[in-house]
Amino acid sequence: MSSPEKTILLICTSGISTGLLVRNMQQAADERQLAVHVYSAPAIIAEQIIQNQNVDALLIGPQSEYEVNRLKDFLNYKAVPYKLISEEDYKIMDGEAVLEEAMRMLSEKV
């Protein structure tokens, strides 16, 4: 019996630059047969998404670091683990490394 699918949300200022990273992460997850769904959205609607959908982990693009302060209390209240994506991984769109980070967050959440 496989575990239920986990949802990983990536946010950045517009939600566009994380698009390629999402694709790389989803590809890495599929290759490893992990039950995860990865998608991105503009930071401005992150609260709305987390309020209305099940999000197991939130990753924030390095250029949107300021969003952490805006969302921190809300994320803690909703018990959604969050982390800033490392500048290096983001620059090279390393889906494998960012997925690894997200999976660590998910295993700590249990």
> What tens digit of pLDDT does each residue of 65-110 get?
999 999 999 999 999 999 999 999 999 999 999 999 999 999 986 5
Residue 9 pLDDT > 80, yes or no? Answer: yes
Superfamily of chain region 6-109: Response regulator (3.40.50.2300)
The residue ranges of every structural domain in the chain are 6-109
User: What is the model's pTM?
Assistant: 0.91
Q: SS in 3 state form for the chain?
A: CCCCCEEEEEEECCCCCHHHHHHHHHHHHHHCCCCEEEEEEEHHHHHHHHHHCCCCEEEECHHHCCHHHHHHHHHHHHCCCEEECCHHHHHCCCHHHHHHHHHHHHHHHC
Determine the Cα–Cα distance for residues 31 and 89; give it in Å rounded to an integer: 19
